[in-house]
């Protein structure tokens, strides 16, 4: 017997909801999952993914480019809108990269001159509003800077919504079981189980799986810190 050689296994939204209800002993084989149950399951699933998306998962880190405009300090980022900009780097034509310093809201607000005297940007501030985000460069780039440099960034993207029942999960495969059990844990508030031992097992398994993946979902490279 040979192995499949395939590593693209995934579950649709409906399959994840069905699997979660199966953990609770609801809608098992021979039973039909109602439209209300599917609706409840999809809503709980999307809410859970939105919460989990605030964590800095390795697979949510995405590279992008900011198209600089001479004398322009503010750049709207909306498609997609990053949850958080992790770093911004100034790159020369021969590939030399220089990271920009990140400013807090207060530090950027306290700058006395945000648009005047265009030059080479050395700092940035990202303002994540509801519909769009705005990246501010300081100082604003000059025409020479626009011609000589590109501006790259790494940002935290959002997990895709599961809008349709046949949508696949926008997460690595190793998260499938964790999603299943944690969704079951959340659904217990609406669909309580009669067996307290089962309820405890669902909670314990959900927590164990999530902790295990959070411990794995980190960079393995060493980080060296020293006083400035």
N-to-C CA span, the chain? 59
- pLDDT above 70 covers a percentage of the chain that reads 95
In this predicted structure, the answer to whether residue 174 has a pLDDT above a threshold of 80 is yes
6 in helix, strand or coil? coil
Q: What angle do CA 128, 113, 137 make, to 5 degrees?
A: 40
Q: What is the pLDDT of residue 32?
A: 77
Q: How far apart are CA 140 and CA 210, in angstroms?
A: 43
In this predicted structure, the answer to whether residue 116 has a pLDDT above a threshold of 70 is yes
Count of Cβ atoms closer than 10 Å to residue 42 Cβ: 21
Q: How confident is the model at residue 134 (pLDDT cuts 50, 70, 90)?
A: very high
Higher pLDDT, 228 or 202: 202
In this predicted structure, the answer to whether residue 215 has a pLDDT above a threshold of 70 is yes
- The DSSP H or E segment spanning 203 is helix 196-216
The 10 Å CB-count burial string (b at 16+, else e) for 53-87 is beeebeebeeebebebeeeebebebeeebbbebbe
The pTM of the whole model exceeds 0.95: no
Q: Taking the mean position of all CA atoms in its chain, how far away is CA 137?
A: 23
Sequence spans of domains, the chain = 13-53+160-215, 60-156
The dihedrals phi and psi of 62, each to the nearest 5 degrees, come to -130, 140
Minimum mean pLDDT range among 29-38, 119-128, 130-139, 164-173: 29-38
Look at the block and give the residue holding tokens 């990053």: 82
Q: What is the pLDDT of residue 26?
A: 81
Minimum mean pLDDT range among 31-40, 121-130, 145-154, 159-168: 31-40
Q: What is the pLDDT of residue 218?
A: 76
Output the DSSP codes for 116-151: SS-B---EEEEEE-SS-EEEEEESPBPHHHHHHEEE
Higher pLDDT, 27 or 75: 75
In this predicted structure, the answer to whether residue 185 has a pLDDT above a threshold of 90 is yes
């Amino acid at each position: 017997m040979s192995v499949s050689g395939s590593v693209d296994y995934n579950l649709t939204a409906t399959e994840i909801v069905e699997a979660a209800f199966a953990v609770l002993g609801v809608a098992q084989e021979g039973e039909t999952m109602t439209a209300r149950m599917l609706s409840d399951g999809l809503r709980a699933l999307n809410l859970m993914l939105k919460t989990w998306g605030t964590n800095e998962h390795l697979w949510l880190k995405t590279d992008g480019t900011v198209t600089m405009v001479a004398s322009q300090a503010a750049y709207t980022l909306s498609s997609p809108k990053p949850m958080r900009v992790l770093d911004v780097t100034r790159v020369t034509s021969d590939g030399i990269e220089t990271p920009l310093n990140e400013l807090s809201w207060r530090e950027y607000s306290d700058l006395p001159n945000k648009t005047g005297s265009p030059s080479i940007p050395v700092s940035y501030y990202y303002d994540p509003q509801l519909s769009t985000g705005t990246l501010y460069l300081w100082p604003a780039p000059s025409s020479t800077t626009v011609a000589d440099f590109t501006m790259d960034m790494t940002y935290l993207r959002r997990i895709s919504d599961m809008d349709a029942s046949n949508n696949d999960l926008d997460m690595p495969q190793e998260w499938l079981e964790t999603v299943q059990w944690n969704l079951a844990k959340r659904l217990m508030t609406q669909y309580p189980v009669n067996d307290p031992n089962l309820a405890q097992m669902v909670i314990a398994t959900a927590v164990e799986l999530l902790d295990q993946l959070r411990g794995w979902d980190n960079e393995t490279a060493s980080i060296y810190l020293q006083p400035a």
